[in-house]
Protein backbone atom coordinates (compact mmCIF):
# COMPACT_ATOMS: atom_id res chain seq x y z
CA UNK A 1 0.00 0.00 0.00
CA UNK A 2 1.47 3.40 -0.96
CA UNK A 3 2.24 5.89 1.77
CA UNK A 4 -0.53 8.44 1.64
CA UNK A 5 1.70 10.97 3.37
CA UNK A 6 4.01 11.10 0.35
CA UNK A 7 2.60 13.18 -2.48
CA UNK A 8 5.49 12.27 -4.74
CA UNK A 9 4.95 8.57 -4.38
CA UNK A 10 1.21 8.95 -4.85
CA UNK A 11 1.81 10.91 -8.04
CA UNK A 12 3.80 8.01 -9.46
CA UNK A 13 0.87 5.62 -9.22
CA UNK A 14 -0.65 4.89 -12.63
CA UNK A 15 -4.18 6.08 -13.25
CA UNK A 16 -6.34 2.97 -13.58
CA UNK A 17 -8.51 2.62 -16.66
CA UNK A 18 -10.93 0.02 -15.32
CA UNK A 19 -13.45 0.16 -12.52
CA UNK A 20 -15.99 -2.27 -11.14
CA UNK A 21 -18.15 0.66 -10.08
CA UNK A 22 -20.11 2.51 -12.77
CA UNK A 23 -19.19 5.74 -11.03
CA UNK A 24 -15.53 5.22 -12.03
CA UNK A 25 -13.03 7.80 -10.81
CA UNK A 26 -15.47 10.73 -10.63
CA UNK A 27 -16.18 10.80 -6.93
CA UNK A 28 -17.73 14.07 -5.92
CA UNK A 29 -16.91 15.92 -2.74
CA UNK A 30 -20.07 14.75 -1.02
CA UNK A 31 -19.11 11.11 -1.61
CA UNK A 32 -15.59 11.75 -0.34
CA UNK A 33 -16.90 12.94 2.99
CA UNK A 34 -20.47 11.64 3.44
CA UNK A 35 -22.41 12.90 6.43
CA UNK A 36 -23.60 9.39 7.23
CA UNK A 37 -19.97 8.45 7.98
CA UNK A 38 -18.67 11.60 9.68
CA UNK A 39 -21.62 11.74 12.09
CA UNK A 40 -20.07 8.76 13.91
CA UNK A 41 -17.71 11.31 15.47
CA UNK A 42 -20.27 14.05 16.18
CA UNK A 43 -23.74 12.66 16.96
CA UNK A 44 -24.83 11.65 20.45
CA UNK A 45 -23.18 8.34 21.43
CA UNK A 46 -26.29 6.77 22.93
CA UNK A 47 -28.29 7.48 19.81
CA UNK A 48 -25.55 6.12 17.55
CA UNK A 49 -25.19 2.89 19.54
CA UNK A 50 -28.95 2.39 19.36
CA UNK A 51 -29.04 3.16 15.64
CA UNK A 52 -26.15 0.82 14.82
CA UNK A 53 -26.86 -1.87 17.40
CA UNK A 54 -30.51 -2.61 16.66
CA UNK A 55 -30.03 -3.54 12.97
CA UNK A 56 -26.87 -5.44 13.89
CA UNK A 57 -28.68 -7.37 16.64
CA UNK A 58 -31.50 -8.30 14.30
CA UNK A 59 -29.01 -9.18 11.57
CA UNK A 60 -27.03 -11.53 13.80
CA UNK A 61 -30.21 -13.07 15.16
CA UNK A 62 -31.47 -13.56 11.61
CA UNK A 63 -28.09 -14.97 10.55
CA UNK A 64 -28.12 -17.27 13.58
CA UNK A 65 -31.51 -18.54 12.47
CA UNK A 66 -29.85 -20.46 9.64
CA UNK A 67 -28.56 -23.09 12.09
CA UNK A 68 -31.76 -22.96 14.13
CA UNK A 69 -33.94 -23.37 11.03
CA UNK A 70 -31.86 -26.28 9.74
CA UNK A 71 -32.09 -28.01 13.12
CA UNK A 72 -35.84 -27.47 13.51
CA UNK A 73 -36.75 -28.67 10.02
CA UNK A 74 -34.37 -31.62 10.19
CA UNK A 75 -35.79 -32.48 13.62
CA UNK A 76 -39.34 -32.65 12.27
CA UNK A 77 -38.46 -33.89 8.80
CA UNK A 78 -35.79 -36.48 9.65
CA UNK A 79 -36.01 -37.04 13.43
CA UNK A 80 -33.26 -37.43 16.06
CA UNK A 81 -30.75 -38.53 13.40
CA UNK A 82 -31.41 -35.25 11.61
CA UNK A 83 -30.70 -33.34 14.82
CA UNK A 84 -27.51 -35.31 15.33
CA UNK A 85 -26.49 -34.58 11.73
CA UNK A 86 -26.99 -30.85 12.26
CA UNK A 87 -24.92 -31.01 15.45
CA UNK A 88 -22.05 -32.85 13.76
CA UNK A 89 -22.02 -30.40 10.85
CA UNK A 90 -21.87 -27.32 13.11
CA UNK A 91 -18.03 -27.17 13.39
CA UNK A 92 -17.66 -27.14 9.60
CA UNK A 93 -20.27 -24.38 9.27
CA UNK A 94 -18.54 -22.38 12.00
CA UNK A 95 -15.32 -22.56 9.97
CA UNK A 96 -17.18 -20.65 7.27
CA UNK A 97 -18.29 -18.05 9.79
CA UNK A 98 -14.73 -17.79 11.11
CA UNK A 99 -13.35 -17.09 7.63
CA UNK A 100 -15.96 -14.44 6.88
CA UNK A 101 -15.32 -12.76 10.24
CA UNK A 102 -11.54 -12.86 9.74
CA UNK A 103 -11.87 -10.86 6.55
CA UNK A 104 -15.04 -8.92 7.31
CA UNK A 105 -14.30 -7.86 10.89
CA UNK A 106 -10.63 -7.15 10.12
CA UNK A 107 -11.41 -5.18 6.99
CA UNK A 108 -14.27 -3.38 8.71
CA UNK A 109 -12.07 -2.35 11.66
CA UNK A 110 -9.30 -1.09 9.37
CA UNK A 111 -11.75 0.77 7.15
CA UNK A 112 -13.43 2.49 10.12
CA UNK A 113 -10.05 3.71 11.40
CA UNK A 114 -9.11 5.01 7.93
CA UNK A 115 -12.43 6.83 7.58
CA UNK A 116 -11.96 8.37 11.03
CA UNK A 117 -8.57 9.62 9.82
CA UNK A 118 -10.19 11.08 6.69
CA UNK A 119 -8.47 8.63 4.29
CA UNK A 120 -11.34 7.71 1.96
CA UNK A 121 -9.26 6.20 -0.83
CA UNK A 122 -7.40 3.94 1.59
CA UNK A 123 -10.77 2.75 2.91
CA UNK A 124 -11.76 1.64 -0.61
CA UNK A 125 -8.43 -0.16 -0.99
CA UNK A 126 -9.21 -2.11 2.16
CA UNK A 127 -12.59 -3.23 0.82
CA UNK A 128 -11.15 -4.22 -2.56
CA UNK A 129 -8.46 -6.36 -0.96
CA UNK A 130 -11.04 -7.91 1.36
CA UNK A 131 -13.11 -8.93 -1.68
CA UNK A 132 -10.18 -10.68 -3.35
CA UNK A 133 -9.25 -12.45 -0.13
CA UNK A 134 -12.84 -13.66 0.28
CA UNK A 135 -12.91 -15.22 -3.19
CA UNK A 136 -9.54 -16.92 -2.83
CA UNK A 137 -10.26 -18.38 0.59
CA UNK A 138 -13.78 -19.50 -0.34
CA UNK A 139 -12.55 -21.46 -3.36
CA UNK A 140 -9.76 -23.07 -1.31
CA UNK A 141 -12.15 -24.05 1.49
CA UNK A 142 -14.65 -25.55 -0.96
CA UNK A 143 -11.94 -27.78 -2.42
CA UNK A 144 -10.66 -28.85 1.01
CA UNK A 145 -14.14 -29.59 2.37
CA UNK A 146 -14.95 -31.67 -0.70
CA UNK A 147 -11.71 -33.67 -0.80
CA UNK A 148 -11.41 -34.34 2.94
CA UNK A 149 -15.13 -34.68 3.75
CA UNK A 150 -15.02 -38.06 5.52
CA UNK A 151 -12.01 -37.33 7.77
CA UNK A 152 -13.57 -34.00 8.75
CA UNK A 153 -16.90 -35.58 9.65
CA UNK A 154 -15.26 -38.36 11.66
CA UNK A 155 -13.26 -35.71 13.51
CA UNK A 156 -16.61 -34.09 14.36
CA UNK A 157 -17.77 -37.44 15.87
CA UNK A 158 -20.01 -38.65 13.04
CA UNK A 159 -21.34 -42.12 13.78
CA UNK A 160 -21.93 -44.84 11.18
CA UNK A 161 -25.66 -44.02 11.29
CA UNK A 162 -25.19 -40.29 10.69
CA UNK A 163 -22.21 -40.28 8.30
CA UNK A 164 -24.19 -40.64 5.01
CA UNK A 165 -26.53 -37.76 5.88
CA UNK A 166 -23.66 -35.60 7.15
CA UNK A 167 -21.74 -36.21 3.93
CA UNK A 168 -24.71 -35.09 1.81
CA UNK A 169 -25.36 -32.00 3.92
CA UNK A 170 -21.75 -30.76 4.03
CA UNK A 171 -21.10 -31.44 0.32
CA UNK A 172 -23.92 -29.07 -0.60
CA UNK A 173 -23.01 -26.45 2.02
CA UNK A 174 -19.41 -26.41 0.77
CA UNK A 175 -20.57 -25.51 -2.75
CA UNK A 176 -22.11 -22.36 -1.27
CA UNK A 177 -19.03 -21.20 0.67
CA UNK A 178 -18.40 -18.38 -1.82
CA UNK A 179 -21.77 -16.71 -1.13
CA UNK A 180 -21.65 -17.52 2.57
CA UNK A 181 -18.21 -15.96 3.00
CA UNK A 182 -19.05 -12.88 0.92
CA UNK A 183 -22.40 -12.18 2.60
CA UNK A 184 -20.93 -12.69 6.07
CA UNK A 185 -17.87 -10.53 5.44
CA UNK A 186 -19.35 -7.66 3.47
CA UNK A 187 -22.41 -7.04 5.63
CA UNK A 188 -19.82 -5.50 7.99
CA UNK A 189 -18.84 -2.93 5.35
CA UNK A 190 -22.44 -1.82 4.89
CA UNK A 191 -22.57 -0.88 8.58
CA UNK A 192 -19.33 1.06 8.25
CA UNK A 193 -20.89 2.85 5.28
CA UNK A 194 -23.34 4.26 7.81
CA UNK A 195 -26.30 2.19 6.56
CA UNK A 196 -26.94 -0.52 9.19
CA UNK A 197 -30.57 -0.93 8.12
CA UNK A 198 -29.50 -2.02 4.64
CA UNK A 199 -27.22 -4.66 6.18
CA UNK A 200 -30.25 -5.88 8.11
CA UNK A 201 -32.50 -6.05 5.04
CA UNK A 202 -30.03 -8.16 3.10
CA UNK A 203 -29.85 -10.77 5.86
CA UNK A 204 -33.61 -10.79 6.59
CA UNK A 205 -34.48 -11.41 2.94
CA UNK A 206 -31.97 -14.26 2.77
CA UNK A 207 -33.34 -15.88 5.92
CA UNK A 208 -36.91 -15.57 4.65
CA UNK A 209 -35.91 -17.46 1.50
CA UNK A 210 -34.18 -20.09 3.66
CA UNK A 211 -37.32 -20.63 5.76
CA UNK A 212 -39.64 -20.89 2.77
CA UNK A 213 -37.38 -23.31 0.91
CA UNK A 214 -36.85 -25.44 4.03
CA UNK A 215 -40.61 -25.78 4.39
CA UNK A 216 -40.97 -26.66 0.70
CA UNK A 217 -37.99 -28.97 0.26
CA UNK A 218 -37.81 -30.71 3.67
CA UNK A 219 -41.43 -30.91 4.75
CA UNK A 220 -43.18 -30.64 1.38
CA UNK A 221 -40.93 -32.60 -0.98
CA UNK A 222 -39.29 -34.74 1.76
CA UNK A 223 -35.75 -34.06 0.49
CA UNK A 224 -34.29 -34.42 4.01
CA UNK A 225 -30.86 -32.99 4.80
CA UNK A 226 -30.18 -32.25 1.11
CA UNK A 227 -33.23 -30.00 0.97
CA UNK A 228 -32.16 -28.17 4.12
CA UNK A 229 -28.66 -27.56 2.75
CA UNK A 230 -30.03 -26.27 -0.57
CA UNK A 231 -32.37 -23.93 1.28
CA UNK A 232 -29.47 -22.59 3.35
CA UNK A 233 -27.16 -21.72 0.46
CA UNK A 234 -30.09 -20.29 -1.53
CA UNK A 235 -30.84 -17.83 1.27
CA UNK A 236 -27.19 -16.86 1.54
CA UNK A 237 -27.07 -16.28 -2.23
CA UNK A 238 -29.98 -13.84 -2.02
CA UNK A 239 -28.11 -11.84 0.65
CA UNK A 240 -24.81 -11.91 -1.26
CA UNK A 241 -26.37 -10.64 -4.51
CA UNK A 242 -27.93 -7.65 -2.75
CA UNK A 243 -24.66 -6.71 -1.01
CA UNK A 244 -22.69 -7.01 -4.25
CA UNK A 245 -25.18 -4.80 -6.09
CA UNK A 246 -24.94 -2.12 -3.39
CA UNK A 247 -21.16 -1.80 -3.48
CA UNK A 248 -20.88 -2.07 -7.27
CA UNK A 249 -23.89 -0.26 -8.72
CA UNK A 250 -25.67 1.77 -6.03
CA UNK A 251 -25.11 5.53 -6.13
CA UNK A 252 -26.09 5.68 -2.44
CA UNK A 253 -22.97 3.80 -1.33
CA UNK A 254 -20.31 6.23 0.04
CA UNK A 255 -17.55 3.96 -1.29
CA UNK A 256 -17.45 1.25 -3.95
CA UNK A 257 -15.76 -1.93 -5.08
CA UNK A 258 -13.36 -0.77 -7.77
CA UNK A 259 -11.45 -3.08 -10.07
CA UNK A 260 -8.09 -1.38 -9.56
CA UNK A 261 -8.21 -1.96 -5.79
CA UNK A 262 -8.73 -5.73 -6.11
CA UNK A 263 -5.03 -6.47 -6.54
CA UNK A 264 -3.73 -7.71 -3.20
CA UNK A 265 -1.36 -5.44 -1.29
CA UNK A 266 0.78 -7.38 1.24
CA UNK A 267 0.60 -4.63 3.85
CA UNK A 268 -3.20 -4.38 3.59
CA UNK A 269 -3.59 -8.15 3.75
CA UNK A 270 -1.40 -8.22 6.84
CA UNK A 271 -3.41 -5.46 8.54
CA UNK A 272 -6.77 -7.04 7.68
CA UNK A 273 -5.64 -10.42 9.00
CA UNK A 274 -4.18 -8.90 12.16
CA UNK A 275 -7.31 -6.93 13.03
CA UNK A 276 -9.64 -9.78 12.12
CA UNK A 277 -7.59 -12.45 13.87
CA UNK A 278 -9.42 -12.16 17.18
CA UNK A 279 -12.82 -12.74 15.55
CA UNK A 280 -11.35 -15.60 13.55
CA UNK A 281 -9.71 -17.21 16.55
CA UNK A 282 -12.90 -16.84 18.55
CA UNK A 283 -14.77 -18.81 15.91
CA UNK A 284 -11.86 -21.22 15.47
CA UNK A 285 -12.00 -21.84 19.21
CA UNK A 286 -15.72 -22.53 18.75
CA UNK A 287 -14.79 -25.21 16.24
CA UNK A 288 -12.41 -26.79 18.76
CA UNK A 289 -15.07 -26.57 21.45
CA UNK A 290 -17.68 -28.20 19.24
CA UNK A 291 -15.32 -31.01 18.25
CA UNK A 292 -14.31 -31.61 21.88
CA UNK A 293 -17.89 -31.41 23.16
CA UNK A 294 -19.17 -33.74 20.42
CA UNK A 295 -16.45 -36.25 21.28
CA UNK A 296 -17.32 -36.09 24.99
CA UNK A 297 -21.04 -36.39 24.28
CA UNK A 298 -20.59 -39.44 22.05
CA UNK A 299 -18.32 -41.14 24.59
CA UNK A 300 -20.09 -40.24 27.84
CA UNK A 301 -23.57 -40.54 26.33
CA UNK A 302 -22.99 -44.19 25.49
CA UNK A 303 -23.26 -45.10 29.17
CA UNK A 304 -26.53 -43.24 29.81
CA UNK A 305 -30.22 -43.76 28.94
CA UNK A 306 -30.07 -41.07 26.22
CA UNK A 307 -27.32 -42.86 24.27
CA UNK A 308 -24.63 -41.25 22.05
CA UNK A 309 -27.00 -40.02 19.31
CA UNK A 310 -29.42 -38.74 21.95
CA UNK A 311 -26.66 -36.88 23.76
CA UNK A 312 -25.47 -35.33 20.49
CA UNK A 313 -29.03 -34.37 19.54
CA UNK A 314 -30.09 -32.90 22.90
CA UNK A 315 -26.90 -31.01 23.78
CA UNK A 316 -26.65 -29.95 20.14
CA UNK A 317 -30.03 -28.26 20.59
CA UNK A 318 -28.84 -26.66 23.84
CA UNK A 319 -25.72 -25.32 22.13
CA UNK A 320 -27.76 -23.88 19.28
CA UNK A 321 -30.13 -22.13 21.65
CA UNK A 322 -27.24 -20.84 23.77
CA UNK A 323 -25.49 -19.62 20.63
CA UNK A 324 -28.70 -17.97 19.47
CA UNK A 325 -29.04 -16.08 22.77
CA UNK A 326 -25.41 -15.03 22.33
CA UNK A 327 -25.93 -13.61 18.82
CA UNK A 328 -27.70 -10.42 19.98
CA UNK A 329 -24.75 -9.74 22.30
CA UNK A 330 -22.37 -10.18 19.36
CA UNK A 331 -24.68 -7.95 17.34
CA UNK A 332 -24.30 -5.12 19.84
CA UNK A 333 -20.52 -5.55 19.87
CA UNK A 334 -20.19 -5.66 16.08
CA UNK A 335 -22.70 -2.85 15.60
CA UNK A 336 -20.66 -0.66 17.94
CA UNK A 337 -17.34 -1.48 16.25
CA UNK A 338 -17.51 1.31 13.62
CA UNK A 339 -18.08 3.80 16.45
CA UNK A 340 -15.06 2.48 18.36
CA UNK A 341 -12.79 2.55 15.32
CA UNK A 342 -13.92 5.88 13.87
CA UNK A 343 -13.66 7.81 17.15
CA UNK A 344 -10.36 6.16 18.04
CA UNK A 345 -8.95 7.13 14.66
CA UNK A 346 -10.26 10.68 15.19
CA UNK A 347 -8.64 10.90 18.65
CA UNK A 348 -12.01 11.16 20.46
CA UNK A 349 -11.21 8.68 23.23
CA UNK A 350 -13.98 9.78 25.60
CA UNK A 351 -16.52 8.81 22.94
CA UNK A 352 -14.88 5.38 22.67
CA UNK A 353 -15.39 4.82 26.41
CA UNK A 354 -18.98 6.07 26.34
CA UNK A 355 -19.79 3.82 23.39
CA UNK A 356 -18.43 0.81 25.29
CA UNK A 357 -20.52 1.54 28.39
CA UNK A 358 -23.70 2.09 26.40
CA UNK A 359 -23.09 -1.12 24.44
CA UNK A 360 -22.48 -2.98 27.70
CA UNK A 361 -25.82 -1.78 29.05
CA UNK A 362 -27.53 -3.06 25.93
CA UNK A 363 -25.97 -6.52 26.32
CA UNK A 364 -27.04 -6.68 29.98
CA UNK A 365 -30.66 -5.89 29.11
CA UNK A 366 -30.65 -8.52 26.38
CA UNK A 367 -29.13 -11.02 28.82
CA UNK A 368 -31.86 -10.37 31.39
CA UNK A 369 -34.59 -11.04 28.81
CA UNK A 370 -33.11 -14.37 27.73
CA UNK A 371 -32.28 -15.36 31.30
CA UNK A 372 -35.94 -14.97 32.32
CA UNK A 373 -37.31 -16.74 29.23
CA UNK A 374 -35.04 -19.75 29.69
CA UNK A 375 -36.01 -20.14 33.33
CA UNK A 376 -39.73 -19.69 32.76
CA UNK A 377 -40.16 -21.98 29.76
CA UNK A 378 -37.13 -24.25 29.15
CA UNK A 379 -39.30 -27.23 28.16
CA UNK A 380 -41.22 -25.51 25.35
CA UNK A 381 -38.01 -23.93 24.04
CA UNK A 382 -36.20 -27.25 23.56
CA UNK A 383 -39.48 -28.89 22.53
CA UNK A 384 -39.57 -26.63 19.46
CA UNK A 385 -36.79 -28.86 18.07
CA UNK A 386 -39.00 -31.97 18.37
CA UNK A 387 -37.15 -33.31 21.41
CA UNK A 388 -39.45 -35.48 23.51
CA UNK A 389 -39.36 -37.60 26.66
CA UNK A 390 -36.06 -37.92 28.50
CA UNK A 391 -34.21 -36.05 25.76
CA UNK A 392 -36.42 -33.01 26.32
CA UNK A 393 -35.96 -33.13 30.10
CA UNK A 394 -32.21 -33.55 29.81
CA UNK A 395 -31.89 -30.66 27.32
CA UNK A 396 -34.13 -28.34 29.38
CA UNK A 397 -31.99 -28.78 32.50
CA UNK A 398 -28.74 -28.41 30.59
CA UNK A 399 -29.96 -25.20 28.93
CA UNK A 400 -30.65 -23.50 32.26
CA UNK A 401 -27.21 -24.36 33.59
CA UNK A 402 -25.26 -23.49 30.45
CA UNK A 403 -26.77 -19.99 30.10
CA UNK A 404 -26.60 -19.04 33.79
CA UNK A 405 -24.20 -16.08 33.30
CA UNK A 406 -25.57 -14.74 30.02
CA UNK A 407 -26.39 -11.36 31.63
CA UNK A 408 -22.70 -10.41 31.97
CA UNK A 409 -21.43 -12.01 28.75
CA UNK A 410 -21.10 -8.61 27.08
CA UNK A 411 -18.13 -7.58 29.23
CA UNK A 412 -15.86 -9.90 27.28
CA UNK A 413 -17.50 -9.74 23.84
CA UNK A 414 -17.80 -5.95 23.60
CA UNK A 415 -14.35 -5.55 25.14
CA UNK A 416 -12.79 -7.83 22.55
CA UNK A 417 -14.45 -5.88 19.74
CA UNK A 418 -13.23 -2.59 21.23
CA UNK A 419 -9.63 -3.83 21.19
CA UNK A 420 -10.07 -5.15 17.65
CA UNK A 421 -11.65 -1.92 16.37
CA UNK A 422 -8.95 0.29 17.89
CA UNK A 423 -6.01 -1.56 16.34
CA UNK A 424 -4.99 -3.72 19.33
CA UNK A 425 -5.27 -7.23 17.89
CA UNK A 426 -3.14 -9.03 20.48
CA UNK A 427 -5.35 -7.88 23.36
CA UNK A 428 -8.44 -8.77 21.37
CA UNK A 429 -7.09 -12.22 20.54
CA UNK A 430 -6.22 -12.95 24.16
CA UNK A 431 -9.62 -11.79 25.40
CA UNK A 432 -11.42 -13.78 22.72
CA UNK A 433 -9.58 -16.98 23.59
CA UNK A 434 -9.92 -16.87 27.37
CA UNK A 435 -13.45 -18.23 27.59
CA UNK A 436 -13.58 -20.41 24.50
CA UNK A 437 -10.19 -22.04 24.65
CA UNK A 438 -8.09 -21.31 27.72
CA UNK A 439 -10.90 -22.04 30.19
CA UNK A 440 -13.62 -24.04 28.46
CA UNK A 441 -11.62 -26.79 26.73
CA UNK A 442 -9.88 -27.98 29.93
CA UNK A 443 -13.15 -27.72 31.88
CA UNK A 444 -15.03 -29.89 29.37
CA UNK A 445 -12.60 -32.68 30.23
CA UNK A 446 -12.26 -31.87 33.93
CA UNK A 447 -15.89 -31.38 35.00
CA UNK A 448 -17.11 -34.88 33.98
CA UNK A 449 -14.46 -36.24 36.36
CA UNK A 450 -15.20 -33.85 39.26
CA UNK A 451 -18.94 -33.17 39.10
CA UNK A 452 -20.21 -36.64 40.19
CA UNK A 453 -18.06 -36.29 43.34
CA UNK A 454 -19.21 -32.72 44.04
CA UNK A 455 -22.90 -33.42 43.25
CA UNK A 456 -23.46 -37.19 43.61
CA UNK A 457 -26.84 -37.10 41.85
CA UNK A 458 -25.28 -36.06 38.55
CA UNK A 459 -23.54 -38.14 35.87
CA UNK A 460 -20.22 -37.49 34.10
CA UNK A 461 -22.26 -36.47 31.02
CA UNK A 462 -23.72 -33.57 33.04
CA UNK A 463 -20.21 -32.23 33.59
CA UNK A 464 -20.00 -31.26 29.91
CA UNK A 465 -22.62 -28.51 30.14
CA UNK A 466 -21.62 -27.50 33.69
CA UNK A 467 -18.23 -26.48 32.28
CA UNK A 468 -19.79 -23.52 30.43
CA UNK A 469 -20.91 -21.26 33.33
CA UNK A 470 -17.61 -21.83 35.16
CA UNK A 471 -15.68 -20.77 32.05
CA UNK A 472 -18.01 -17.75 31.75
CA UNK A 473 -17.17 -16.64 35.28
CA UNK A 474 -13.42 -16.94 34.80
CA UNK A 475 -13.54 -15.02 31.50
CA UNK A 476 -15.70 -12.32 33.12
CA UNK A 477 -13.02 -11.64 35.74
CA UNK A 478 -10.30 -11.56 33.08
CA UNK A 479 -12.23 -9.21 30.80
CA UNK A 480 -13.19 -6.88 33.65
CA UNK A 481 -9.57 -6.38 34.69
CA UNK A 482 -8.45 -5.76 31.12
CA UNK A 483 -11.18 -3.19 30.45
CA UNK A 484 -10.38 -1.26 33.64
CA UNK A 485 -6.80 -0.96 32.45
CA UNK A 486 -7.89 0.09 28.95
CA UNK A 487 -10.17 2.81 30.33
CA UNK A 488 -7.26 4.26 32.30
CA UNK A 489 -5.13 4.25 29.14
CA UNK A 490 -7.82 6.03 27.10
CA UNK A 491 -8.26 8.63 29.84
CA UNK A 492 -4.53 9.37 29.85
CA UNK A 493 -4.52 9.72 26.07
CA UNK A 494 -7.51 12.06 26.19
CA UNK A 495 -5.89 14.31 28.79
CA UNK A 496 -2.60 14.40 26.91
CA UNK A 497 -4.30 15.18 23.60
CA UNK A 498 -2.70 12.16 21.94
CA UNK A 499 -3.48 11.58 18.28
CA UNK A 500 -3.47 8.15 16.66
CA UNK A 501 -0.59 7.68 14.23
CA UNK A 502 -1.75 7.84 10.61
**Residue 366, pLDDT score:** 92
What angle is formed at CA 32 by the lines to CA 200 and CA 37, rounded to 5 degrees?
40
Higher pLDDT: 333 or 117? It is 333
Q: What's residue 3's pLDDT? A: 40
pLDDT score for 36: 55
Candidates 366, 367, 388; CA nearest to 379 is 388
pLDDT tier for residue 66 given thresholds of 50, 70 and 90:
low
Is residue 128 within 8 Å of 75, Cβ to Cβ?
no
User: Cα-atom radius of gyration of the chain, to the nearest Å?
Assistant: 23
More confident call, 194 vs 420 = 420
Give me the pLDDT at residue 385, please.
78
- Which residue in 409, 414, 413 sits closest to 354, CA to CA? 414
Q: Max CA-CA distance within the chain? A: 75
Phi–psi pair at 253, nearest 5 degrees: -70, 130
- Return the top range by mean pLDDT from 9-23, 77-91, 232-246, 249-263: 232-246
pLDDT recorded at residue 37: 57
**With contact defined as beta carbons under 8 Å apart, do 60 and 100 qualify?**
no
Q: Tell me, what's the pLDDT at 6? A: 38
pLDDT value at position 11? 34
Does 462 score more than 60 pLDDT?
A: yes
Rounded Cα gap, residues 219 and 213, in angstroms: 9
What span, in angstroms and rounded, lies between the C-alpha atoms of 366 and 154?
Answer: 37
pLDDT digits (tens, 9 = 90+) for 142-156: 898 888 888 888 877
CA distances from 201 to 194, 207, 239, 242, 325 (A): 14, 10, 8, 9, 21
The average confidence (pLDDT) of the chain is: 80
Q: pLDDT tens for residues 203-235?
A: 788 888 988 898 898 888 888 888 888 988 998
Residues 6+ apart with CB under 8 A from 400: 374, 375, 378
- Give the three-state DSSP class for 257: coil
The pLDDT of residue 400: 93
Say if residues 162 and 85 touch (Cβ distance below 8 Å): yes
Distance CA(360)–CA(443), nearest Å, equals: 27
Contact indicator for 334, 55 with CB cutoff of 8 Å: no
- What tens digit of pLDDT does each residue of 94-104 get? 777 777 778 87
| Residue-wise DSSP of 116-166 | HTT-HHHHHHHHHHHHHHHHHHHHHHHHHHHHTHHHHHHHTT--TTTHHHH
Q: Is the pLDDT of residue 200 over 80?
A: no
Q: Out of 28-37, 466-475, 483-492, which region has the weakest mean confidence (pLDDT)? A: 28-37
pLDDT score of 176 more than 60: yes
Delimit the domains of the chain by residue range.
Answer: 44-496
Give the predicted TM-score (pTM) of the model: 0.65
Residue 370: predicted pLDDT? 93
Condensed to tens digits (0 to 9), the pLDDT of residues 34-49 reads: 555 566 666 778 788 8
10 has pLDDT over 50: no
What per-residue confidence (pLDDT) applies to 18?
36
Write the secondary structure of 63-123 as one string of H (helix), E (strand) and C (coil): HHHHHHHHHHHHHHHCCHHHHHHHHHHHHHHHHHHHHHHHHHHHHHHHHHHHHHCCCHHHH
d(CA 54, CA 335): 8
Residue 308 confidence (pLDDT): 79
What's the confidence (pLDDT) of residue 498? Answer: 64
Instruction: Tell me the backbone φ, ψ of residue 212, rounded to 5 degrees.
Output: -60, -45
* Distance in angstroms (rounded) separating the CA atoms of residues 324 and 410: 14
pLDDT at 26: 37
Q: How confident is the model at residue 387 (pLDDT cuts 50, 70, 90)?
A: confident
Q: How far apart are CA 235 and CA 218, in angstroms?
A: 15
* Higher-confidence position of 10 and 186: 186
Top mean pLDDT of 57-66, 78-87, 251-260, 439-448 is at 439-448
Amino acid sequence: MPDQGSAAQAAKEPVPDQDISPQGQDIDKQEQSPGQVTRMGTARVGRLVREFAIPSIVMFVVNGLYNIIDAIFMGFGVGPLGQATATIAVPIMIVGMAISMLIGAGGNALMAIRLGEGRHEDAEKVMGNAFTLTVIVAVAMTVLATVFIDPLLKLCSATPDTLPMCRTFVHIIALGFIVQFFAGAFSNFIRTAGDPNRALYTMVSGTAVCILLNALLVLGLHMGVAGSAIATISGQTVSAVQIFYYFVFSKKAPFHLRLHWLRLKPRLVRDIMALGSSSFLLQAANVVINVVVNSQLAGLGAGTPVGPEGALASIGVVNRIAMFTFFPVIGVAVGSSPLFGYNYGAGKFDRVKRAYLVALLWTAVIGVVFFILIRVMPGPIVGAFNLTGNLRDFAAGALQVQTFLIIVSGVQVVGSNLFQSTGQPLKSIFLSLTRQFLYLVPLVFLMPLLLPHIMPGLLPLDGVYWAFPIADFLSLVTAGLMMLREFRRLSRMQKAGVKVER
